[in-house]
Amino acid sequence: MAPAVLLSRTLDPALGVFTGVFAFYLYETHPRTALPSEERLETLIRWKWSIFQKNRATRLDKIGEVDRVSQPPKLR
């Protein structure tokens, strides 16, 4: 017996991911259930990114390397 498929094998997972992301977006932004700005995912990601950048800069300074990503490319 073939498994039950709503639309197609590839569209069903995409629809599931879209539904989950949209539900999370509504959870964080709906006025009735909105979280304070310091408890949102965006704030957590920014905080974690800043910690990562500080640790990376410290690590690169210790080994004496230059961060090539932040420097503009040299023109010939």
At 33-67, the pLDDT tens digits run 878 888 889 999 999 999 999 999 888 887 765 55
Rounded CA gap, 47 and 58, in Å?
17
Residue 34: what pLDDT? 79
Q: Provide the number of structural domains found in the chain.
A: 1
Confidence of residue 69 (pLDDT cuts 50, 70, 90): low
- In the predicted structure, residue 74 carries a pLDDT above the cut 90: no
Within 13 A of 28's CA, how many CA atoms are on the CB side? Answer: 12
Residue 31 lies in a domain: yes
Q: Where in the sequence is the domain holding 49, given as residue range(s)?
A: 11-63
Residue 38 lies in a domain: yes
